[in-house]
Amino acid sequence: MTVAALCFDLDGTLVDSAAGVALALNTALAEDGLPPFELATVRGWIGDGPDALIARALDAGGLHGLPALAARMRLRFDAATLAVPSAQGKAYPGIAALLARLAGRYPMAVVTNKPTPLARAVLDAAGLLEHFAQLHGADTAAQRKPSPLLIQQAARRFGISAAGVLMVGDGPADLAAASAAGSPAAWAAWGYGPVPAALAGVWRLDTPADLLARLPVRTPIHQ
């Protein structure tokens, strides 16, 4: 496997944001007088973007087929996130050190199912934004992982083939997007996703430092 660039998922990979996502969701629910959900429940819904998260919450509450309510919830969710992006959580232990070691050696991008404005705010609040040359959020349904579109877009901007981009993520959508793009993948075991059914050809990372151990040492480059 030859790795020329790195793409990282955000929630559950770079930032432990579950509590903040639950806070934003429950804030949006409360404004319509709807009951909140426990953190453990919300954590299991994270990974496919806020629209999917809201749909799961409404389905769990027996509120099916209410697009106006879902749209209202999305506006409130976004507003709650942007109002206090630092509440979305902190970088996982070891992530800041990992990115500092990789910076200047591998070009890096974030590829997330969070919409770009929310992702940028959360990354900045967590002190990680400066490490990335690119940020690709899922601003349309077609871009959401497991679609390969965002990985492919990042690869084009780096001027390389998607086969040279390592996708690092914690969820099934990350691994599926990498597979669809023809990219190698690494599974972040510290995140929210379940253990993949098959890890053949996928690097398992139990800590961020494991990625450093796997990657060949490279001399500094200019991003």
pLDDT per residue as tens digits for the range 192-210: 988 888 777 899 999 999 9
18-87 fold:
DNA polymerase; domain 1 (1.10.150)
Residues of the chain within CATH 3.40.50.1000 domain(s) are 5-16+89-214
Residues of the chain within CATH 1.10.150.240 domain(s) are 18-87
In the CATH hierarchy, which top-level class contains the domain 5-16+89-214? alpha beta
pTM of the model: 0.94
CA distances, 213 to each of 83, 93, 197, 206 (Å) = 38, 16, 24, 11
Instruction: Return the pLDDT at 223.
Output: 43
Over range 47-75, report the average pLDDT.
Answer: 94
Instruction: Return the pLDDT at 219.
Output: 64
What does the block give as tokens for 16? 């432990």
pLDDT per residue as tens digits for the range 84-135: 999 988 999 999 999 999 988 999 999 999 999 999 999 999 999 999 999 9
Instruction: Return the pLDDT at 104.
Output: 86
What does the block give as tokens for 199? 């890890």
Q: What percent of the chain has pLDDT over 70?
A: 97
Pairing of strands 5-8, 108-112: parallel
| CB-neighbour burial class of residue 222 (10 A; exposed 0-12, middle 13-18, buried 19+) | exposed
Instruction: Return the pLDDT at 65.
Output: 83
**What positions carry a catalytic annotation?**
9
